[in-house]
Chains A and B, each alone.
Chain A
């Protein structure tokens, strides 16, 4: 194994510091974005009890759409 000399390790330090600064920048960017988008992030998403809703729909004689599968196959459910 090659032992790093002081000179070569100085180059390593420069690379490590560059990487660190880039990561700090990325984290700061994420923080700033989280603040900027706070009011418009569509923050409150309802927690829906899917099974409960499906049961109610079936009780009412309807068939629930599985929206997520439409998204996967990049299509839209047909309108009645």
Chain B
């Protein structure tokens, strides 16, 4: 209990200090430095770049000739200055676009973004499609511009902001006949992305409350198919950092983000690890792999209670480090280290793929290796679960038979002085202990506080 309280305080300290530091730095700085760096990199010749000014704000780039007056050669602008409302998956994608006076796009550079790096590794290739295009051209995603696979929101935000920004500059500053921007798709709230996650949580909670293995399996399968394969959206530390940075996606285009975050937080505070235990797509994958290993009769890797208990703090270390790093560099992408994001995004560097293979292999030999020792968002959910309103608790009649300790697949129960000590941040609410208790005195009930917990 004391250790969990200490970890909660450390988490709050890092989160609050980091968020304050980030916002303080944001208020002190702007994008000017990044814009200047990009401009210096694009205009390497004798061109003279005038300071940013005007409405819409832009940089005028003049060609300098020894005997002639300066001639306007190009215009550059930050897309965020013209289209601040266009957002990617996790906030605006700020780009510097340079346009020649004849309306040809000279270059497009990324200034800032909070998108998933594993997707954005291919951003260079994507950006190359704009270079050389005329601003009067159409920029429709899927038709004129090929999107980044599984990163439609990022691709669309980039295409729309380049299109709208360039056409506005072309019309107002370069006085070109460029027409209107390519038609935006009408924004409509997709109710399916509210209903499906809601149903998913209802099924998962039903499985926990009704001790129903079928419902738990159904929730895990649906989580795998819907969140993992179809949407590639999971609860992760990236979202936690984005909340600290107050970077929220548009609700109409991405209601799933809000549903997942709100329902995970609520379920963790009320019941405990519902998301980790019954919804997380990667948890399902790990459980299937582990059972496959047992079917094949491969030796299970078992660790002593003491060492495994200490090793669990590694995930808290990872959580604290990625949080601090993200706030310091001012970008949630630094927190994108979670193996499930790499797996389901299907975009990664060699190190990323090696890590996925490594963790999946370990999952065959040890039950939920990633969840137990490494998952940073699981560590955060665990801190919430430790304070949940309802908990699995045992009655005073407990004879200390130790059956619950033996059946717990995640090793969250340990017998001390013939009494089960439950480590709530590790309990995945699988209900195996409740089902197997011979005296039937383990049950999910309102937190009575008198029950012993680990670390007391």
Contact = CB atoms under 8 A, between A and B. Distances in A.
Interface in B305-323: 307-308, 311, 314, 317-318, 321-322
A68 interface: no
B38 A4 contact: no
B337 A27 contact: yes
A53 interface: no
A55 interface: no
Please classify how large the interface on chain A is, using the bins under 10, 10 to 19, 20 to 34, 35 or more. 35 or more
B331 A4 contact: no
A1 to B, nearest CB: 8
A29 B109 CA distance: 21
Contact of B301 (A9, A36, A42): A9
Contacts of B107: 44
Most buried by A among B108, B123, B351, B354: B351
A26 to B, nearest CB: 5
A6 interface: yes
B105 to A, nearest CB: 9
Contacts of B70: none
A35 B354 contact: no
Contacts of B311: 13-14, 17
Interface residues of B, number: 56
Contacts of A36: 329
Interface class of chain B by DSSP: helix
Interface class of chain A by DSSP: helix
Interface stretch (B196-204, B355-363, B415-423): B355-363
Nearest to A33: B117
Given A44-B107, A44-B128, A13 B38 contact: no
Contacts of A32: 325, 329, 334
Interface stretch (B129-137, B165-173, B242-250, B395-403): B129-137
A27 B358 CA distance: 14
A19 interface: yes
Contacts of A47: 128-129, 131
Contact of A39 (B109, B333, B349, B374): B109
A10 B304 contact: yes
Contact of B299 (A4, A6, A20, A26): A4
Given A31-B333, A46-B131, 6 more contacts: A10-B303, A35-B113, A35-B117, A38-B113, A39-B109, A46-B132
